[in-house]
Structure 1
């Protein structure tokens, strides 16, 4: 699983990079997002822009590091 550590990336560049990484995933694949704060606003953005297309699983929840497994859902058959 690919790891995307955005802690050293400028905040304005984070969401576009995260969405590009997600869009490049194949169906059923996932990446590990590493962040320096709770990415809850990103979750809401995913819910609005990729509704039904993603999974979101916290693996670590701070206080200094958050790790979230973001997956691309398989299409419904």
Structure 2
């Protein structure tokens, strides 16, 4: 697998705690989107650790093609 699976065409709004580590799914196969559930094993993908500095709402990329991973940059709007 060389390209991630598009898990969604809209970002996932999540409330995150400051200083806590979160593992964002990079492969798109997790059943616990936008977070990793270990499904990537053997795919060549690895989850991305994200530790927000501030608590609050974040929009995490679900299409897996953002240039600002794990945050959404609107790339989902341009996918075929």
Tell me whether the two structures share a fold, i.e. TM-score over 0.5.
no
More strand by share: 1
More helix by share: 1
Q: TM-score, normalised by structure 1?
A: 0.35
Q: TM-score, normalised by structure 2?
A: 0.34
